Amino acid sequence: MFDKEIRIKSDEELRRSLGEDGFRIVRQKGTERAFTGRYWNCKSPGVYRCSVCSNPLFDAGTKYDSGSGWPSFWQPVAAGKVREEADFSHGMQRVEVLCAHCQAHLGHVFPDGPAPTGMRYCINSASLELDGYGQGV
């Protein structure tokens, strides 16, 4: 399921494929407005991959409606696929989530999610590409 080639897109490719706002999110640690991303309310099955390098990040089976307006997951697809780092920007203390392969900014993780993990990975849609079951996963 995870045998897709992992290749990091150049900044020029990212600007072309993600647009300036998407580029700002993945490379400059931005965020999209709540309830505006293409995946916040998506219910399709599949694997969410990094929009920069295609690294598999989250399975749609772990996605849930957190009410936050961003795609939310209770765990990554496998250990070592995402990296967490302390984030003290904007006067807050949070935990940033990054793609472990290319270091793209994905979003943040919070300890207020559902069982079984209790975690809420709150991820920007611009950081994701949905690879649906039966479509090359």
Distance in angstroms (rounded) separating the CA atoms of residues 129 and 131: 6
Provide Rg for the chain, Cα atoms: 14
Q: Considering the candidates 42, 53, 99, 122, report the single residue annotated as catalytic.
A: 122
Name the helix (H) or strand (E) containing 105.
strand 105-110
99 is catalytic: no
**Cβ pair 108, 97 in contact under 8 A:** yes
Which residues does the annotation mark as catalytic? 122
